């Protein structure tokens, strides 16, 4: 980024890099032509001036005004903003987070490839790795990502193509040491950092090859866009683009516009959500009816020191265990403010039951490996007043406990 002032002249105060929150507001504006709002290019195709012009555009990577499955100016603006925020040479957007994960795995791997992945991951990613990859002749080894050295032990020199991690992990917020991950020699490393957002964690700064996000969540932040994005070195991202054009998981310009709008307010939203999540985690940890409360900002988190070293913002997610499925149902039924929905990062505080939603396709052993029980609940703090969220959640915990006590008597 240059250090230009408002008139384009060099900034006499020096070339200090802006804070990430400022980058989120400023990024992705190179085609705005003076408009503060990014233009919406709501078109699937662009008219060409000549056959020769069409031939040149069709033969080069990521032509912006050719065909929107290849590239679109509004989508490019979103990609530019994310790349700047991630400290990446390039970024590539997809129609969903799973589109981004799928393209990363199958754009880099083929029959005979070996992938090392952690067992604590989003359920859709686990289903891809456990179900689809073996059918395509791709071997996957799962490891406990919280154990130091686990990734290195599983890597097979000359054979392992990709090491795939997720931190903080869905839903129990397990962490991965990215310095250790990036130190692996040979395979490409990729990290799904959706829960952290680029404001909380930049995997590329640690030496990881690719950073992946479901931008549907906190990055877009208003529950009105479905997006994924991958960031990294330009050559590697352009290679994935070649696969993505065939894959067809192309984001709509409208969703990209909503994603870019969400980035503008990510900093202030994340601060409020983190404040609420921390207060709620502390209150739940003190409640006798709640077990295994997880938030990276809690001193009781098993990897709290890693969180202090690695996460710039600990985030708006909390997970906890109510002891059983019946208790979880009673808790949800008693909520009045929080909404039951399988997502996160939006303005409303959302509750989800991982064993019934994000990880519903896993068997009992696989759920246990991921640290999930039928009593596990995940909460995504919204933008409501912290006191109101605490009152609703703690009141629902008490109401569920009362129902259980009545049933026992």
Strand partners, 211: 191, 231
Catalytic, 135? Answer no
Catalytic, 122? Answer yes
For position 187, which CATH number holds?
Answer: 3.40.640.10
Answer for the pair 120, 145: CB distance below 8 angstroms, yes or no.
yes
64: pLDDT strictly greater than 90: no
177 and 302 part of one domain: no
260 and 356 part of one domain: no
What is the mean pLDDT of the segment spanning 115-128?
96
141 and 199 part of one domain: yes
Question: Model pTM?
Answer: 0.93
pLDDT for position 212: 98
pLDDT for position 370: 85
SS3 194: coil
229 and 116 part of one domain: yes
311-343 per-position pLDDT tens digit? 999 999 999 999 999 999 999 999 999 999 999
156: pLDDT strictly greater than 70: yes
Q: Domain count of the chain?
A: 2
pLDDT band at 9 (very low <50, low <70, confident <90, very high): very low
Is there a domain that residue 295 lies in? yes
Is there a domain that residue 340 lies in? yes
Structure tokens at 366: 């696989």
- What backbone torsions phi and psi does residue 75 show, to the nearest 5 degrees? -65, -40
Residues in the chain: 409
State how beta strands 350-352 and 376-380 pair: antiparallel
Residues 6 or more apart in contact with residue 232 via CB below 8 angstroms: 88, 89, 90, 204, 209, 210, 211
pLDDT for position 401: 85
For position 322, which CATH number holds?
Answer: 3.90.1150.10
Catalytic, 55? Answer no
84 and 229 part of one domain: yes
Strand partners, 230: 92, 212
What is the mean pLDDT of the segment spanning 48-59?
92
Active-site hit among 62, 122, 264, 269:
122
Catalytic, 294? Answer no
Is there a domain that residue 12 lies in? no
140 and 203 part of one domain: yes
pLDDT for position 408: 53
CA 373 – CA 358 distance, rounded (Å):
13
What is the mean pLDDT of the segment spanning 166-183?
97
Supply the range of the domain harboring residue 351. Answer: 267-408
Is there a domain that residue 125 lies in? yes
59 and 207 part of one domain: yes
Active-site hit among 80, 174, 177, 192:
192
Strand partners, 162: 115, 188
193-223 per-position pLDDT tens digit? 999 999 999 999 999 999 999 999 999 999 9
Answer for the pair 219, 20: CB distance below 8 angstroms, yes or no.
no
- Please give the C-alpha separations between residue 279 and each of 3, 328, 332, 404, in angstroms, as whole numbers: 39, 21, 20, 26
Active-site hit among 69, 130, 261, 289:
69
pLDDT for position 191: 98
Answer for the pair 122, 170: CB distance below 8 angstroms, yes or no.
yes
Average pLDDT, the chain: 93
């Amino acid at each position: 980024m240059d250090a230009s002032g408002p008139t384009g002249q060099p900034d006499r105060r020096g070339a200090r890099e802006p804070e990430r929150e400022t980058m989120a507001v400023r990024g992705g504006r190179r085609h705005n032509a003076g408009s503060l709002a990014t233009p919406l290019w709501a078109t699937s195709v662009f008219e060409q001036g000549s056959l020769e012009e069409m031939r040149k555009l069709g033969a080069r990577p990521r032509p912006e005004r050719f065909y929107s499955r290849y590239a679109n100016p509004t989508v490019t603006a979103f990609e530019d903003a994310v790349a700047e925020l991630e400290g990446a040479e390039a970024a590539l957007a997809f129609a969903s987070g799973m589109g981004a994960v799928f393209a990363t795995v199958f754009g880099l791997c083929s029959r005979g490839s070996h992938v090392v992945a952690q067992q604590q991951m989003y359920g859709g990613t686990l289903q891809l790795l456990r179900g689809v990859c073996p059918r395509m002749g791709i071997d996957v080894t799962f490891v406990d990502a919280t154990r130091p050295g686990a990734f290195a032990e599983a890597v097979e020199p000359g054979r392992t193509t990709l090491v795939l991690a997720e931190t903080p992990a869905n839903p129990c917020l397990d962490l991965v040491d990215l310095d250790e991950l990036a130190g692996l020699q040979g395979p490409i490393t990729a990290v799904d950092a959706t829960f952290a957002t680029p404001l909380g964690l930049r995997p590329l700064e640690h030496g990881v090859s690719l950073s992946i996000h479901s931008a549907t969540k906190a990055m877009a932040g208003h529950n009105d866009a479905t997006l994924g994005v991958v960031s990294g070195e330009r050559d590697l991202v352009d290679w994935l683009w070649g696969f993505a054009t065939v894959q067809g998981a192309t984001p709509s310009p409208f969703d990209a516009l909503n994603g870019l709008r969400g980035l503008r307010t990510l900093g202030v939203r994340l601060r409020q959500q983190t404040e609420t999540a921390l207060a709620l985690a502390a209150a739940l940890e003190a409640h006798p009816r709640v077990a295994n409360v997880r938030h990276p900002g809690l001193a009781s988190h098993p990897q709290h020191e890693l969180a202090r070293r690695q996460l710039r913002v600990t985030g708006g997610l909390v997970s906890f265990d109510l002891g059983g499925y019946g208790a979880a149902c009673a808790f949800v039924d008693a909520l009045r403010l929080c909404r039951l929905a399988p997502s996160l990062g939006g303005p409303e505080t959302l509750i989800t039951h991982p064993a019934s939603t994000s990880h519903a396709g896993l068997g009992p052993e696989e759920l246990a490996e991921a640290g999930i029980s039928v009593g596990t609940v995940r909460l995504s703090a919204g933008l409501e007043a912290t006191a109101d969220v605490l009152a609703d959640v703690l009141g629902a915990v008490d109401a569920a406990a009362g129902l259980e006590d009545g049933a026992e008597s």
